[in-house]
Chains A and B, each alone.
Chain A
Amino acid sequence: MPRPDFVELRTELLQSGISPGHVFRAITELDEHFEDLVFAEIEDGSERATAERNAVVALGDLAEVSRAMQQQPELKSWAWNYPRLARIVYPLACIVALPAVPVIAGVQNASLLARWAVCALVGGFVTALMFLVLQLSISPL
């Protein structure tokens, strides 16, 4: 018997609107639980294959886990609970927030930005000066 299909469970839970945080944590916990069961069986003297077979049985039907999670509305993601908010307000908020982020970051790090700006200006000035000197040196007078 193969390992439990946690990928299918994860897909099913995400498609049914369970919050991604709960889904990924539940999958990690189930995977760890499976490993613990296998380890305990091996410690009791079972072969790896037998231990994994027994662990799958002990862990139970993953469809039951899926049903148990889907029956709890509090585990649903906010986007599932408020689809209009997720589809309209959230993108609009992002559109507003995205240009604001660099401005806010600039205000908070004004001294750093000023140093960078001075460095860039000085660098540009020196480069322009070098080009001017080179140009003058090759230009016929």
Chain B
Amino acid sequence: MTQPNPPFMTGVPELLLLRILEQQEMYGYQLVRSVKQVTAEAISLGEGVIYPALHGLERNGSLKSRRKAVGGRTRVYYSLTRKGKKRLAKLQDDWRRIQNGISTALEVPAHA
């Protein structure tokens, strides 16, 4: 069973969704599977909660959606926009900076 995500995870789902959608367009179910796969299930997204996140990203212009009929069913596919690519680059930079900072802090011996 996966553990709940800690509170400092704010912004991580957005980063993951943009990163995955940078490679190819996907619909919600595929995205959830993909997030689980690329994070080795270390990050658990509530499967239903992905849709508010996707709608929010689409509303702010980071994503665009289109309906596509596949196998007799109509899916809503999401893909990255130019604005989304810029947003992803910024989030990646922020994340790497934080990651470096935390790594440095963890390597320094703790002072009494």
Q: How far is the CB of B52 from chain A (nearest CB, A)?
A: 4
Asked if B9 is an interface residue, CB under 8 A from chain A, the answer is: no
Tell me whether B49 and A68 are in contact (CB under 8 A): yes
The reply to whether A26 and B59 contact each other, CB–CB distance below 8 Å, is: no
- Checking B29, B52, B73 against A26 with a beta-carbon cut-off of 8 angstroms, the contacting residue is B52
Cβ-Cβ contact count across A and B, 8 Å cutoff: 63
Tell me if A44 is interfacial: C-beta within 8 Å of chain B.
no
Interface string of A1-43 (1 = CB under 8 A from B): 0000000000000000000001001101110110011000000
Chain B: residues with Cβ within 8 Å of the partner, total of: 18
Overall SS of chain B's interface? helix
Q: Looking across the interface, which residue of chain B has its beta carbon closest to that of A70?
A: B52
In A31-77, the 8 Å CB interface with B consists of 32-33, 36-37, 58-62, 64-65, 68-69, 71-72, 74-75
Residue B7 CB within 8 A of the other chain = no
Cβ-defined contact, A29 with B59, below 8 A: no
Q: A69-B52, A69-B55 are in contact. Are A37 and B47 (CB under 8 A)?
A: yes
Q: Residues of B contacting A72 with CB < 8 Å?
A: 52, 55-56, 59
> Could you say which of A32, A58, A61, A68 contacts B53, with CB atoms under 8 Å apart?
A68
Does the CB pair A26–B51 fall under 8 Å? Answer: yes
Is B48 within 8 A of A74, CB to CB? no
29 A/B residue pairs, CB under 8 Å, sorted by A: A25-B55, A26-B52, A28-B76, A29-B28, A29-B51, A30-B51, A32-B28, A32-B29, A33-B32, A33-B47, A33-B48, A33-B51, A36-B29, A37-B29, A37-B47, A58-B47, A59-B47, A59-B48, A65-B48, A65-B51, A65-B52, A68-B49, A69-B52, A69-B55, A72-B56, A72-B59, A74-B60, A75-B56, A75-B59
With A32-B28, A33-B51, A75-B52 known, 20 other A-B pairs at CB within 8 A are A25-B76, A28-B76, A29-B28, A32-B29, A32-B75, A33-B29, A33-B32, A33-B48, A36-B29, A37-B29, A60-B49, A61-B48, A62-B48, A64-B46, A64-B48, A65-B49, A68-B49, A72-B52, A72-B56, A74-B60
